[in-house]
Amino acid sequence: MKLEFKNGWNVIDDAEKAKVFEFGEGYKTYLDEGKTERECVKTTVAMAEAAGFKNLNDVESLKTGDKVYAINKNKCIMLAVIGEKKVSEGVNIAGAHIDAPRLDLKQNPLFEDGDMAFFKTHYYGGIKKYQWAAIPLAIHGVVVLADGTKKEISVGDYDDDFTFVITDLLPHLGRNQMSKTGDKMLEGEQLTILLGSIPYEGEDDEETGLKKGEVKSKMLSILNEKYGICEEDFLSAELEIVPAFKAKDLGFDRSMIAAYGHDDRVCSYAALKAVLDIATPEKTAVCILTDKEEVGSMGNTGAKSYFMQLVLSELMEKTGEIPSDINRLRMLDKSFCLSADVSAAFDPKFSDVYDGQNCGRMNKGIAISKYTGSGGKSGSNDASAELMGLVRKIFNDNNVLWHTAELGKVDAGGGGTIAQFVANLGVNTIDCGVPMLSMHAPYEVVGKMDLYMSYKAFAAFYKDCK
């Protein structure tokens, strides 16, 4: 058969085109409600409960057709629909990540200079630092107070009446800056968030440390009034600086979506919707949305943690099976995983970094990557021909538009996903996901066709991977 990856808009009928646009609407809401991994977990729980899923902790025993979710330390979530076969006969996993590149506040972040107050930050994930200057920014996260109370903060976003910014140098004085390489134009320590400029008008206070005439003290007095937090409370906080952009349709034809955090909430949403919509599957369907992918999947909320194995063991236990070591290993060995993460879509103005016949493409559906990695597939999961063949057949049988993609030309760079960590457990794993433009930028771009086809891909996988 002739190899041809088709443009979805030339292939699908009007009824399905309407579904493509409709699917994009829900996704934009998901993005706007979840700008951090914690917020994505909350939104996911609300969607799951509305679809009849129960917290696994509240369930004594499970039977075919039951729907449950489990939360890992507020930053990672797993959902499952119990299939007709035993869990020990293997499960079908769609795995994506809900963390995204951003700036985190430093432990001791607040300072004053030049009659203005700022927060110091430490960036998270692979970013082009200069892209974060001169754009509206919001602060989202949690602060744990001295008495253990947790305060949630969400401020400066598009629907608020004020925002934050990292200032940049005026071009008139930028001669030296503009001659630097991109990674030095704005350095890590210069990613400071402008907070305010009015000096504190109250009297000096020994107890709180507030000082008359200090802008920093003014900021602390506002934070104390609004959230009850003092300077020491920043030591036990996770505050993330994220772009204050709203997800929006892109283009005259509204065929694309521009937003912060597509990587990897676009695959997360597609996988989540597929598991929420599923009828009782033959094999147990699992969706895991993990944290920490952008920094190596480490820690107790990343894909390298034992969380997924723990939940799978609980599924075995609550369906009446014994999750002994050998039973768990057998179960993992018979399981399949679509490691769902974004791929780079061909961008004509940077065509020199892509291999045109082996790269992600806008509107050509979900992109399957047999391998990722860099420097000779290092850090990659290299899926087998058999697995590639199985996935190809499932997608074709279900009219899922798909193509294959490598991130870029050989040795142009590279990147990894959670695939290798899932595959290390014995799970048959393959990478696939939505191709995107401007990956890791504050405002990324995906196509609605590719988002919808990814949803169809995960639904087909849950239904037909037996």
Q: Residues interacting with Mn ion, by CB under 5 A?
A: 263-264, 341
- List Cα–Cα distances, 402 to 180, 224, 249, 373, 428, in angstroms: 41, 52, 23, 21, 19
Nearest-approach distance from CB 375 to Mn ion, in angstroms: 18
Residue with Cβ nearer Mn ion (102 or 364): 102
Selection from 97, 116, 104, 87 nearest residue 41 by Cα: 97
Q: Enter the DSSP assignment of 376.
A: T
Nearest-approach distance from CB 263 to Mn ion, in angstroms: 4
Residue with Cβ nearer Mn ion (101 or 156): 101
Nearest-approach distance from CB 340 to Mn ion, in angstroms: 9
Residue with Cβ nearer Mn ion (125 or 136): 125
- Residue with nearest beta carbon to Mn ion: 264
Residue with Cβ nearer Mn ion (263 or 464): 263
Q: Could you give the CA distance from residue 413 to residue 304 in angstroms, rounded to a whole number?
A: 23
Structure tokens at 43: 């939104």
Nearest-approach distance from CB 22 to Mn ion, in angstroms: 25
Selection from 331, 300, 297 nearest residue 313 by Cα: 331
Strand partners, 446: 257, 436
* DSSP H helical ranges for 290-365: 307-318, 325-333
Residue with Cβ nearer Mn ion (43 or 343): 343
Nearest-approach distance from CB 43 to Mn ion, in angstroms: 18
Nearest-approach distance from CB 94 to Mn ion, in angstroms: 14
Residue with Cβ nearer Mn ion (66 or 293): 293
Strand partners, 164: 137
Selection from 105, 133, 122, 100 nearest residue 223 by Cα: 105
Residue with Cβ nearer Mn ion (39 or 263): 263
Nearest-approach distance from CB 291 to Mn ion, in angstroms: 12
CA dihedral 289, 291, 293, 296 (to 10 degrees): -140
Helix H or strand E encompassing 196: strand 193-196
Phi, psi of 452 (to 5 degrees): -65, -40
Q: Enter the DSSP assignment of 26.
A: H
- Three-state SS for 78? strand
